[in-house]
Protein backbone atom coordinates (compact mmCIF):
# COMPACT_ATOMS: atom_id res chain seq x y z
CA UNK A 1 0.00 0.00 0.00
CA UNK A 2 2.99 2.21 0.57
CA UNK A 3 3.68 1.91 -3.17
CA UNK A 4 0.54 4.04 -3.81
CA UNK A 5 2.30 7.22 -2.54
CA UNK A 6 4.23 9.36 -5.05
CA UNK A 7 7.01 10.42 -2.63
CA UNK A 8 8.99 7.95 -0.55
CA UNK A 9 12.25 8.07 1.34
CA UNK A 10 13.86 6.26 -1.56
CA UNK A 11 13.52 8.54 -4.66
CA UNK A 12 12.57 6.87 -7.91
CA UNK A 13 13.08 8.07 -11.49
CA UNK A 14 9.51 9.40 -11.65
CA UNK A 15 9.90 11.32 -8.39
CA UNK A 16 13.14 12.89 -9.60
CA UNK A 17 11.54 13.87 -12.89
CA UNK A 18 8.59 15.53 -11.13
CA UNK A 19 10.88 17.39 -8.66
CA UNK A 20 13.07 18.57 -11.55
CA UNK A 21 10.07 19.89 -13.50
CA UNK A 22 8.75 21.78 -10.46
CA UNK A 23 12.21 23.25 -9.79
CA UNK A 24 12.51 24.56 -13.35
CA UNK A 25 8.97 25.98 -13.20
CA UNK A 26 9.70 27.68 -9.87
CA UNK A 27 12.93 29.26 -11.16
CA UNK A 28 11.11 30.45 -14.30
CA UNK A 29 8.41 32.15 -12.21
CA UNK A 30 11.02 33.84 -9.97
CA UNK A 31 13.03 35.09 -12.97
CA UNK A 32 9.96 36.43 -14.75
CA UNK A 33 8.58 38.14 -11.64
CA UNK A 34 11.70 39.83 -10.36
CA UNK A 35 13.64 40.52 -13.57
CA UNK A 36 11.10 41.21 -16.31
CA UNK A 37 7.70 41.99 -14.77
CA UNK A 38 6.60 45.14 -12.91
CA UNK A 39 5.33 44.94 -9.37
CA UNK A 40 1.66 45.89 -9.30
CA UNK A 41 1.89 47.00 -5.68
CA UNK A 42 4.79 49.39 -6.46
CA UNK A 43 3.09 51.02 -9.46
CA UNK A 44 -0.71 51.24 -9.13
CA UNK A 45 -1.08 52.24 -12.77
CA UNK A 46 1.18 52.03 -15.76
CA UNK A 47 0.32 52.13 -19.42
CA UNK A 48 1.37 49.20 -21.55
CA UNK A 49 3.00 51.56 -24.09
CA UNK A 50 6.19 53.54 -23.45
CA UNK A 51 5.65 57.14 -22.36
CA UNK A 52 8.62 59.55 -22.43
CA UNK A 53 9.28 61.26 -19.14
CA UNK A 54 8.38 64.97 -19.13
CA UNK A 55 9.45 67.28 -16.34
CA UNK A 56 6.71 69.76 -15.40
CA UNK A 57 6.92 72.55 -12.85
CA UNK A 58 3.53 72.99 -11.19
CA UNK A 59 4.73 75.84 -9.02
CA UNK A 60 7.86 77.83 -8.19
CA UNK A 61 9.00 75.31 -5.57
CA UNK A 62 8.74 72.33 -7.91
CA UNK A 63 10.53 74.28 -10.64
CA UNK A 64 13.78 74.32 -8.66
CA UNK A 65 13.52 70.59 -8.03
CA UNK A 66 12.88 70.01 -11.72
CA UNK A 67 16.03 71.92 -12.70
CA UNK A 68 18.15 69.88 -10.28
CA UNK A 69 16.69 66.62 -11.58
CA UNK A 70 17.25 67.69 -15.18
CA UNK A 71 20.87 68.58 -14.40
CA UNK A 72 21.36 65.16 -12.84
CA UNK A 73 19.96 63.47 -15.95
CA UNK A 74 22.03 65.57 -18.34
CA UNK A 75 25.31 64.85 -16.57
CA UNK A 76 24.69 61.15 -16.13
CA UNK A 77 26.34 58.65 -18.47
CA UNK A 78 25.53 55.14 -17.28
CA UNK A 79 26.72 54.87 -13.70
CA UNK A 80 29.81 57.07 -14.04
CA UNK A 81 28.05 60.41 -13.53
CA UNK A 82 30.13 61.90 -16.38
CA UNK A 83 28.75 63.32 -19.59
CA UNK A 84 30.62 63.16 -22.90
CA UNK A 85 31.44 66.62 -24.27
CA UNK A 86 32.14 65.57 -27.86
CA UNK A 87 29.13 67.45 -29.20
CA UNK A 88 30.23 70.77 -27.69
CA UNK A 89 33.83 70.28 -28.92
CA UNK A 90 32.55 70.36 -32.49
CA UNK A 91 30.64 73.56 -31.77
CA UNK A 92 33.59 75.12 -29.94
CA UNK A 93 35.94 74.35 -32.84
CA UNK A 94 33.58 76.11 -35.26
CA UNK A 95 33.36 79.15 -32.97
CA UNK A 96 37.18 79.42 -32.73
CA UNK A 97 37.48 79.04 -36.51
CA UNK A 98 34.98 81.87 -36.96
CA UNK A 99 37.11 84.17 -34.80
CA UNK A 100 40.26 83.16 -36.69
CA UNK A 101 38.60 83.94 -40.01
CA UNK A 102 37.42 87.36 -38.84
CA UNK A 103 40.83 88.18 -37.33
CA UNK A 104 42.31 87.47 -40.78
CA UNK A 105 39.78 89.80 -42.40
CA UNK A 106 38.07 86.89 -44.21
CA UNK A 107 41.19 86.62 -46.40
CA UNK A 108 43.05 83.36 -47.12
CA UNK A 109 46.78 82.74 -47.38
CA UNK A 110 49.43 85.41 -47.03
CA UNK A 111 46.93 88.28 -47.23
CA UNK A 112 45.03 86.96 -44.23
CA UNK A 113 48.28 86.41 -42.34
CA UNK A 114 49.27 90.04 -42.89
CA UNK A 115 45.90 91.33 -41.68
CA UNK A 116 46.20 89.23 -38.51
CA UNK A 117 49.80 90.37 -37.98
CA UNK A 118 48.86 94.06 -38.20
CA UNK A 119 45.94 93.63 -35.79
CA UNK A 120 48.07 91.81 -33.22
CA UNK A 121 50.77 94.47 -33.57
CA UNK A 122 48.24 97.26 -32.99
CA UNK A 123 46.90 95.51 -29.89
CA UNK A 124 50.39 94.84 -28.51
CA UNK A 125 51.39 98.50 -28.87
CA UNK A 126 48.12 99.61 -27.32
CA UNK A 127 48.77 97.72 -24.08
CA UNK A 128 52.58 98.05 -23.89
CA UNK A 129 54.06 100.13 -21.03
CA UNK A 130 55.51 102.99 -23.07
CA UNK A 131 57.84 104.07 -20.26
CA UNK A 132 59.65 100.72 -20.29
CA UNK A 133 59.24 99.23 -23.77
CA UNK A 134 59.85 100.68 -27.23
CA UNK A 135 57.22 100.20 -30.00
CA UNK A 136 56.71 96.50 -30.72
CA UNK A 137 57.25 95.09 -34.20
CA UNK A 138 55.33 91.86 -34.80
CA UNK A 139 56.96 89.73 -37.49
CA UNK A 140 54.76 86.64 -37.75
CA UNK A 141 51.55 85.37 -36.19
CA UNK A 142 50.27 81.80 -36.27
CA UNK A 143 46.63 81.63 -35.17
CA UNK A 144 46.68 77.84 -34.95
CA UNK A 145 44.31 75.23 -36.33
CA UNK A 146 42.88 73.61 -33.21
CA UNK A 147 40.60 74.60 -30.35
CA UNK A 148 40.29 73.86 -26.63
CA UNK A 149 38.90 70.38 -26.06
CA UNK A 150 36.46 69.72 -23.24
CA UNK A 151 35.92 66.37 -21.52
CA UNK A 152 34.43 64.77 -18.40
CA UNK A 153 31.62 67.24 -17.85
CA UNK A 154 30.03 66.63 -14.45
CA UNK A 155 27.74 68.44 -12.07
CA UNK A 156 29.56 69.92 -9.10
CA UNK A 157 27.91 68.98 -5.77
CA UNK A 158 26.46 71.91 -3.88
CA UNK A 159 26.84 72.27 -0.12
CA UNK A 160 24.23 74.99 0.15
CA UNK A 161 21.15 75.92 -1.89
CA UNK A 162 22.27 79.57 -1.90
CA UNK A 163 25.16 78.80 -4.26
CA UNK A 164 24.48 78.80 -7.99
CA UNK A 165 24.69 75.35 -9.64
CA UNK A 166 27.97 74.73 -11.45
CA UNK A 167 29.28 72.35 -14.09
CA UNK A 168 32.88 71.16 -13.86
CA UNK A 169 34.70 70.42 -17.13
CA UNK A 170 38.28 69.40 -17.94
CA UNK A 171 39.87 71.52 -20.67
CA UNK A 172 42.91 70.53 -22.73
CA UNK A 173 44.39 72.77 -25.43
CA UNK A 174 47.36 72.02 -27.70
CA UNK A 175 47.96 73.97 -30.90
CA UNK A 176 50.52 75.66 -33.17
CA UNK A 177 49.57 79.18 -32.02
CA UNK A 178 52.63 81.44 -31.83
CA UNK A 179 53.83 85.02 -32.23
CA UNK A 180 57.26 86.42 -33.15
CA UNK A 181 58.15 90.03 -32.37
CA UNK A 182 60.99 92.37 -31.52
CA UNK A 183 61.31 95.46 -29.36
CA UNK A 184 63.69 97.13 -26.94
CA UNK A 185 63.54 97.38 -23.19
CA UNK A 186 64.27 100.88 -21.93
CA UNK A 187 66.85 101.26 -19.15
CA UNK A 188 65.86 104.35 -17.18
CA UNK A 189 68.82 104.51 -14.79
CA UNK A 190 70.65 106.78 -14.05
CA UNK A 191 68.25 108.87 -16.19
CA UNK A 192 65.23 108.11 -18.45
CA UNK A 193 66.02 106.24 -21.69
CA UNK A 194 69.67 105.84 -20.63
CA UNK A 195 70.03 102.77 -22.84
CA UNK A 196 68.03 100.24 -24.82
CA UNK A 197 68.27 96.44 -24.74
CA UNK A 198 67.08 94.93 -28.07
CA UNK A 199 64.98 91.76 -27.69
CA UNK A 200 63.64 89.33 -30.28
CA UNK A 201 61.15 86.73 -29.07
CA UNK A 202 59.07 83.86 -30.37
CA UNK A 203 56.44 82.51 -27.99
CA UNK A 204 54.59 79.28 -28.83
CA UNK A 205 51.87 77.53 -26.90
CA UNK A 206 52.67 73.91 -26.16
CA UNK A 207 49.91 72.98 -23.72
CA UNK A 208 47.25 74.61 -21.60
CA UNK A 209 45.07 72.39 -19.45
CA UNK A 210 42.84 73.08 -16.49
CA UNK A 211 39.56 72.24 -14.85
CA UNK A 212 37.06 75.04 -15.45
CA UNK A 213 33.76 75.83 -13.79
CA UNK A 214 30.70 76.86 -15.80
CA UNK A 215 27.89 78.68 -14.04
CA UNK A 216 24.66 78.75 -16.09
CA UNK A 217 22.72 82.00 -16.39
CA UNK A 218 20.25 82.73 -13.62
CA UNK A 219 16.79 83.53 -15.07
CA UNK A 220 16.00 86.11 -12.37
CA UNK A 221 19.31 87.97 -12.72
CA UNK A 222 18.94 91.51 -14.13
CA UNK A 223 21.65 90.76 -16.72
CA UNK A 224 22.01 86.95 -17.16
CA UNK A 225 25.44 85.70 -18.23
CA UNK A 226 27.32 82.42 -18.52
CA UNK A 227 30.29 82.54 -16.14
CA UNK A 228 33.51 80.69 -16.94
CA UNK A 229 36.17 80.57 -14.26
CA UNK A 230 39.18 78.66 -13.05
CA UNK A 231 38.67 76.64 -9.89
CA UNK A 232 40.25 77.54 -6.56
CA UNK A 233 43.20 77.61 -6.20
CA UNK A 234 43.36 79.52 -9.48
CA UNK A 235 47.05 78.70 -9.94
CA UNK A 236 46.21 75.01 -10.30
CA UNK A 237 46.52 74.71 -14.08
CA UNK A 238 49.15 73.59 -16.58
CA UNK A 239 50.76 76.13 -18.92
CA UNK A 240 53.64 74.97 -21.11
CA UNK A 241 55.22 77.56 -23.39
CA UNK A 242 58.14 77.33 -25.77
CA UNK A 243 60.24 80.46 -26.20
CA UNK A 244 63.21 81.36 -28.37
CA UNK A 245 64.98 84.63 -27.63
CA UNK A 246 67.85 86.86 -28.68
CA UNK A 247 69.06 89.64 -26.38
CA UNK A 248 71.56 92.36 -27.20
CA UNK A 249 72.74 94.41 -30.15
CA UNK A 250 76.17 93.16 -31.16
CA UNK A 251 76.94 90.43 -28.64
CA UNK A 252 73.68 88.43 -28.52
CA UNK A 253 72.47 86.04 -25.84
CA UNK A 254 70.27 83.22 -27.14
CA UNK A 255 67.45 81.46 -25.27
CA UNK A 256 68.09 82.84 -21.80
CA UNK A 257 66.37 80.52 -19.27
CA UNK A 258 65.52 83.36 -16.89
CA UNK A 259 63.69 85.20 -19.66
CA UNK A 260 61.60 82.10 -20.37
CA UNK A 261 60.72 81.85 -16.66
CA UNK A 262 59.79 85.54 -16.56
CA UNK A 263 57.51 85.30 -19.61
CA UNK A 264 55.79 82.17 -18.30
CA UNK A 265 55.33 83.78 -14.87
CA UNK A 266 53.80 86.95 -16.34
CA UNK A 267 51.36 85.03 -18.54
CA UNK A 268 50.33 82.80 -15.64
CA UNK A 269 49.78 85.87 -13.46
CA UNK A 270 47.64 87.50 -16.15
CA UNK A 271 45.46 84.38 -16.37
CA UNK A 272 45.12 84.19 -12.58
CA UNK A 273 44.26 87.89 -12.26
CA UNK A 274 41.62 87.57 -14.95
CA UNK A 275 40.29 84.37 -13.45
CA UNK A 276 36.64 84.87 -14.39
CA UNK A 277 35.09 85.40 -17.81
CA UNK A 278 31.45 86.36 -18.28
CA UNK A 279 29.76 85.54 -21.59
CA UNK A 280 27.05 88.06 -22.42
CA UNK A 281 23.81 86.55 -23.74
CA UNK A 282 22.58 88.40 -26.86
CA UNK A 283 19.29 90.21 -26.33
CA UNK A 284 19.40 89.84 -22.54
CA UNK A 285 22.32 92.10 -21.61
CA UNK A 286 24.99 94.34 -23.06
CA UNK A 287 28.72 94.33 -22.42
CA UNK A 288 28.44 97.72 -20.72
CA UNK A 289 25.72 96.50 -18.33
CA UNK A 290 27.72 93.42 -17.37
CA UNK A 291 30.84 95.55 -16.83
CA UNK A 292 28.83 97.79 -14.48
CA UNK A 293 27.63 94.71 -12.56
CA UNK A 294 31.22 93.49 -12.20
CA UNK A 295 32.33 96.89 -10.94
CA UNK A 296 29.51 96.96 -8.36
CA UNK A 297 30.52 93.48 -7.16
CA UNK A 298 34.15 94.59 -6.87
CA UNK A 299 33.25 97.72 -4.91
CA UNK A 300 30.91 95.72 -2.67
CA UNK A 301 33.63 93.16 -1.95
CA UNK A 302 36.03 95.92 -0.89
Task: Say which range, 81-95, 156-170, 264-278, 280-294, has the weakest mean pLDDT.
Answer: 156-170
Examine the pLDDT at 190 and tell me if it is beyond 50: yes
DSSP H or E stretch at residue 271:
helix 257-274
Task: Please report, to the nearest 10 degrees, the dihedral formed by the alpha carbons of residues 18, 24, 26, 30 taken in order.
Answer: 180
- The Cα angle at residue 185 between residues 183 and 186, in degrees rounded to 5: 130
Contact indicator for 141, 120 with CB cutoff of 8 Å: yes
Query: How many C-beta atoms surround the C-beta of residue 106 within 10 A?
Result: 10
pLDDT, one tens digit per residue, over 121-163 is: 999 999 898 888 899 999 999 999 999 999 888 887 666 555 6
- Rounded to two decimals, the pTM is 0.64
Dist. CA 183–CA 294, nearest whole Å:
35
Amino acid sequence: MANAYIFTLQPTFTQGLIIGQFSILFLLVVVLKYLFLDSVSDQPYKSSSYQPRILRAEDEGQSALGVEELQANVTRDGSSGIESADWINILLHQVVDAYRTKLRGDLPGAEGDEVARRRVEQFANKIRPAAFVDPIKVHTVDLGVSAPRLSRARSRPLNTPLVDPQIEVDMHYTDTISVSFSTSVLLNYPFPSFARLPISLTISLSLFSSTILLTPPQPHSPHPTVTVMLPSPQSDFTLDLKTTSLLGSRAKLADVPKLHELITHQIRRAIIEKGVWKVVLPGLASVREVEEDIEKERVGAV
